[in-house]
Copies of this chain bind each other. A is one copy, B any other.
Amino acid sequence: MKINVVKSVLDASDALADVNRRRMTEAGITCINVLSAPGSGKTTLLQKSLPMLPEGARTAVLVGDLQTTRDAERLEGVTAQVVQINTGRGCHLSPSQVAKGLDELDLSAIDYLIIENVGNMVCPAAFDLGEHLRAVLLSVPEGDDKVAKYPTLFQKADVILLTKIDLAELLEFNFDRVREDLAHVNTAAPVIRVSSKTGNGLEAWRDWLVAQRKG
């Protein structure tokens, strides 16, 4: 009985995600759901990389956060539209919250819609929000064992960003270990090493974004 209830909730959730996706596709939007642990550098990555997109590329960001508007404030100036979704005690964004966020945006003026999910390696992975693509960040200070520990998150990634790589040598981060663990869960997603601090790898990430529009 309990399992049935959970399943029906997920079905409704997935149905709503499909509606979100159709709505964005019809508006010509490419939507990317960005997931990671807290403090992996999602907001900083967007701050640094959105201005690197080709001239004329129109961006918007939906930011999920428990309480504050800090992330949304940090994104003002680098993107034309920002909507903050406060989830309160909710540990992930839901498709219904994203639907409400879409209501707040001028969808006709967006090429890339980035959804910055709540910082959490577990719950957001289970919820399709209607995105077209998923970007998953793993920051070097979190440790090179995280792919094996949170496989669900990495399984569904369309691109994986290893962030804060400027700290890799100091923290003796083992890139081979990540590669070996990924061989078991996801061999399709490209892995991009970036440092928002030094700028290393940001162009590769920008190029990946551009390629998704051409596809």
Contact = CB atoms under 8 A, between A and B. Distances in A.
Interface in A41-66: 65-66
Complex copy number for this chain = 2
Contact of A67 (B39, B70, B90, B151): B151
Interface of A: 37-39, 65-68, 70, 89-91, 118-123, 126, 139, 141-143, 145-146, 148-152, 164, 167, 170
Q: Which of A90, A91, A139 has the most B CB atoms < 10 Å from its CB?
A: A91
B38 A149 contact: yes
B38 A148 contact: no
A67 B148 contact: yes
B122 A91 contact: yes
A124 B120 CA distance: 11
A59 B38 CA distance: 30
Contacts of A70: 145, 148-149
A90 B89 CA distance: 17
Contact of A152 (B89, B123, B139, B164): B89
Given A37-B37, A39-B142, A146-B38, A121 B119 contact: yes
Nearest to A119: B121
A167 B170 CA distance: 10
9 contacts: A38-B143, A38-B146, A38-B149, A39-B141, A70-B148, A89-B122, A89-B152, A120-B123, A141-B142
B91 A91 contact: yes
Given A149-B70, A167-B167, A122 B118 contact: yes
